[in-house]
Amino acid sequence: MALRAVEALPPDFASAARDVLLHVVDLAPDDMLDDMQIDDPYTLTGLYDGIPMTEKSVFDQPTRPDTVWIFRRAILDEWIERGDVTLGDLVTHVVVHEFAHHFGWSDDDIAAIDEWWT
């Protein structure tokens, strides 16, 4: 589902998204949760880890690839709790949200065009 969401991005965005590693795991690793000061791994459904395109420079030497993390069990937990969206829609929203950060959009920018996040 996550890969389909990336493939469904508009062509200009899909092209840029191909340079990002898409990593789907059950839950966020403990070190990631610690860094973000999150106690409950079920509250984090996705994360962009990298330098947004709007902040990159040709002089930057990347130390690791930009990565979008998708946390499967956290998404399933939210889907069950919500009960008002399809699993595919929820996965798509999480994936698009995280890739939007790669494109340089803030949470406020995303919320301005997607009422889901308000």
Please give the domain boundaries of the chain with CATH numbers for all domains.
2-117 (3.30.2010.20)
Tokens of 71: 């946390």
Smallest CA-to-CA distance from 27 within 80, 79, 72, 91 is with: 72
Asked whether the predicted pLDDT for residue 10 surpasses 90, the reply is no
Tokens of 5: 């969401």
Percent over 70 (pLDDT), the chain: 94
The reported pLDDT for the residue numbered 91 is 95
The reported pLDDT for the residue numbered 55 is 86
Does this model's pTM top 0.75? My answer is yes
The reported pLDDT for the residue numbered 115 is 64
Residue with the bigger pLDDT between 55 and 43: it is 43
Average pLDDT for 13-24: 90
Computed over every residue of the chain, the mean pLDDT equals: 89
